[in-house]
Structure 1
Amino acid sequence: MSQKGLDRRSVIVAASGLGLGLMTAPALAQGFPVPQGFVRFPLWKGKAPGSERVTVKQEEGLRTPASPVDDTFFAHIVTPTLTMLRPARPNGAAMLLIPGGGYRRVAIGKEGYAIARRFAQAGYTCFILLYRLPADGWAAGTEAPLQDAQRALRMVRNMAAKEGFDGNRIGVMGFSAGGHLAAWLTSRAPVETYRPADAIDKEPLHTNVAALMYPVIQMEGGFVHAGSRTELLGATPSVDRMKIYSMDQMVAQQTPPTFLAHAIDDKTVPVENSLSMLASLRAGAIPAECHLFETGGHGFGLTMGPEAAPAQWPELFLAFAKRHGV
Structure 2
Amino acid sequence: MTKRFFSILLLGLGLAKLPAAELKITKQIDVWPSGVPGEKGEIPPESITSREYRGESIQILSNVSKPTLTVYKPDPAKDTGVSVVICPGGGYNILAIEHEGTEVAAWLNSIGVTGVVLKYRVPRRKDLEKHDAPLQDVQRAVSLVRHHGKEWGLDPKRIGILGFSAGGHLSATALTGYDKPHYKPVDAIDKASCRPDFGVLIYPAYLVDKETKSKLSPELRITKNTPPVFLVHAADDRVPAEGSVRFWQELRRNGVGTELHIFPKGGHGYGLRPSEFPVTNWPSLCADWLKSTGILKR
Normalising by the smaller structure, the TM-score range is 0.7 to 0.9
Shift of 1:53: 5.5
What is aligned with 1:271?
241
Distance 1:63 1:154, change over 3 A: farther
Do 1:134 and 1:142's aligned partners in 2 also have CA atoms closer than 8 Å?
A: no
Deviates more, 1:121-130 or 1:192-201: 192-201
Structure 1 runs of 4+ aligned residues shifted over 6 Å read 138-141
What is aligned with 2:15?
none
Distance 1:113 1:166, change over 3 A: same
Shift of 1:46: 3.7
Distance 1:141 1:182, change over 3 A: closer
Query: Which residue identity does 1:294 align to in structure 2?
Result: P
Give the aligned length: 272
Secondary structure, aligned partner of 2:288: helix
Residues 60-93 of structure 1, C-alpha deviations (whole Å, 9 max, x = no match)? 211438855xx42212211111111110120111
Residues 6-57 of structure 1, C-alpha deviations (whole Å, 9 max, x = no match)? xxxxxxxxxxxxxxxxxxxxxxxxxxxxx75124321111431111353433
The residue correspondences of 1:23-172 to structure 2 (distance < 5 A) are: 36-38=23-25, 39-52=27-40, 54-64=42-52, 71-88=58-75, 89-133=78-122, 135-137=124-126, 142-172=131-161
Do 1:55 and 1:137's aligned partners in 2 also have CA atoms closer than 8 Å?
A: no
User: In 2, Cα distance between the equivalents of 1:134 and 1:191?
Assistant: 23
Distance 1:312 1:170, change over 3 A: same
TM normalised by structure 1 equals 0.76
User: In 2, Cα distance between the equivalents of 1:130 and 1:2?
Assistant: 16
Q: What stretches of structure 1 of length at least 5 have no aligned partner? A: 4-34, 225-238
Residues 106-134 of structure 1, C-alpha deviations (whole Å, 9 max, x = no match)? 11101001111001110001101111136
Secondary structure, aligned partner of 1:49: coil
What is aligned with 2:169?
180
Query: Which residue identity does 1:62 align to in structure 2?
Result: S
What is aligned with 1:317?
286
The residue correspondences of 1:228-247 to structure 2 (distance < 5 A) are: 243-245=217-219, 247=220
Residues 205-250 of structure 1, C-alpha deviations (whole Å, 9 max, x = no match)? 22221111111111332449xxxxxxxxxxxxxx9xx9423x3xx2
TM normalised by structure 2 equals 0.83
User: In 1, Cα distance between the equivalents of 2:92 and 2:129?
Assistant: 15
Q: What stretches of structure 2 of length at least 5 have no aligned partner? A: 1-18
User: In 1, Cα distance between the equivalents of 2:191 and 2:127?
Assistant: 23
Query: Which residue identity does 1:289 align to in structure 2?
Result: E
Q: Which has the higher contact order (CA 8 A, sep 6+)?
A: 2
Query: Which residue identity does 1:184 align to in structure 2?
Result: T
Do 2:266 and 2:280's aligned partners in 1 also have CA atoms closer than 8 Å?
A: no
Query: Which residue identity does 1:325 align to in structure 2?
Result: G
User: In 2, Cα distance between the equivalents of 1:84 and 1:294?
Assistant: 35
Shift of 1:275: 0.8
Do 2:200 and 2:231's aligned partners in 1 also have CA atoms closer than 8 Å?
A: yes
Distance 1:52 1:220, change over 3 A: same
Residues 117-174 of structure 1, C-alpha deviations (whole Å, 9 max, x = no match)? 0011100011011111363348787411100000100111122111212110111111
- % identical aligned pairs: 33
Shift of 1:188: 3.0
Do 2:85 and 2:160's aligned partners in 1 also have CA atoms closer than 8 Å?
A: yes
User: In 2, Cα distance between the equivalents of 1:144 and 1:101?
Assistant: 15
Query: Which residue identity does 1:83 align to in structure 2?
Result: T
User: In 2, Cα distance between the equivalents of 1:293 and 1:163?
Assistant: 37
User: In 2, Cα distance between the equivalents of 1:277 and 1:2?
Assistant: 31
User: In 1, Cα distance between the equivalents of 2:178 and 2:139?
Assistant: 12
